[in-house]
A = this chain, B = another copy of it.
């Protein structure tokens, strides 16, 4: 495969990654809307669209495998392709988490007009911003931006701990509502994981550009 053709293929791969990121960005936005308004129809759409993302993941994976087989890349090219292979898993999992949250919204047991729900929406907003920034860092090959994403994860973790305490308080006051509140707790856990996946993506960007793994979160995700 001549170099020019290979560069074209790498550019195509980059564009596919950008498109996949944009689709998942939209899913996060829709999940936020569905959560704000406890909108079951919108939630159903997000759940229904999950297979599409899995399909895109496998398509990009197959492009990466072909590039590895046909071009036999080395050094930076190899790191870029291997990083794409890893990043698509994290991107796909963020979409899974949107679908998991929307599954719960669809079941319709979340308490309406709760101040906790507002905090959960804010947390989702922050995790969503982390994801968007992580994908921007990937597209722009921007190590500095990637490091910023990792720094934001502490914020999401702090929000998580605060919401868990709030939910526990609500349950103590009104133990009959425990099932609904537990749903909210799991949603919060899914959002915390989104932040971890965004951090993972950012770490892959650092590896891709520097060849060194940063392990900027404590390695647990």
Interface residue ranges, A against B (CB under 8 Å): 50-51, 54, 58, 65, 68-69, 72-75, 78-79, 82, 85-86, 89, 93, 96, 99-100, 164, 167-168, 171-172, 175-176, 178-179, 182, 185-186, 189, 213, 215, 219-221
Is B171's CB under 8 angstroms from A178's CB? yes
CB-defined contacts of A213 to chain B, threshold 8 Å: 58
CB distance from A70 to the nearest CB of B (A): 8
CB-defined contacts of A189 to chain B, threshold 8 Å: 186, 189
Is B89's CB under 8 angstroms from A220's CB? no
When chains A and B are docked, how far (Å) is the Cα of A73 from the Cα of B171? 57
18 A-B Cβ contacts within 8 A?
A: A50-B220, A58-B213, A65-B78, A65-B79, A68-B68, A68-B78, A86-B86, A86-B89, A89-B89, A93-B221, A96-B220, A96-B221, A167-B182, A168-B182, A172-B178, A182-B185, A185-B185, A189-B189
When chains A and B are docked, how far (Å) is the Cα of A197 from the Cα of B69? 27
When chains A and B are docked, how far (Å) is the Cα of A3 from the Cα of B219? 36
CB-defined contacts of A221 to chain B, threshold 8 Å: 93, 96
Is B85's CB under 8 angstroms from A68's CB? no
